[in-house]
Amino acid sequence: MAKTTGGCLCGNIRYEIEGEPFRMVNCHCDDCRKVTGSAYATNLFFQEDQITLLQGTPKRFEHVADSGNSMFKEFCDTCGSQVFGGGAIRPGVKSVKVGSIDDASFVEPTANLYISHALTCTHVDEDLDNFEQMPPPA
């Protein structure tokens, strides 16, 4: 995979990513469920220098997660789509929400995080690495 492109729902924010993600996971924590409005979030992790913002400036929301770590969400202030996230535990790393990627056909998560918070109606793939909470940083 050479380049990945994506952006928000309304198109005000556009980005390009060079290279492969170093981690792809499904996260079932309350934070990811609330920010996506879904049963879980699929997050791809990249080094910040792999990501180039082509258009727009995301708005940033900072908060403290269940883990006690400081985190941020970056989203479009017009349509509300979250595109990036990150936190103090992984400086220099950003997560990219799979729903913001133009062609996400390459995405194959390797783990489920916070399965202790997974909704009973959510299928958790037992073939993946499954963690009750947050594993150590990769």
Does the pLDDT value for residue 133 go beyond 80?
no
pLDDT at 122: 87
pLDDT at 132: 67
Q: Give CA–CA dist 118/138, Å, rounded.
A: 22
Q: Give CA–CA dist 32/41, Å, rounded.
A: 6
pLDDT at 42: 95
Given the DSSP bridges, would you call strands 14-18 and 3-7 parallel, antiparallel or unpaired?
Answer: antiparallel
Q: Give CA–CA dist 82/35, Å, rounded.
A: 7
Where do the domains of the chain lie? Answer: 3-97+106-130
Q: pLDDT (tens digit, 9 = 90+) per residue, 86-97?
A: 998 889 999 999
CATH topology classification for 3-97+106-130: 2.170.150
pTM, 2 dp: 0.90
Please say whether the beta carbons of 22 and 47 come within 8 A: yes
Question: Alpha carbon of 118 to those of 5, 15, 29, 104, 121: distances in Å?
Answer: 29, 30, 7, 23, 8
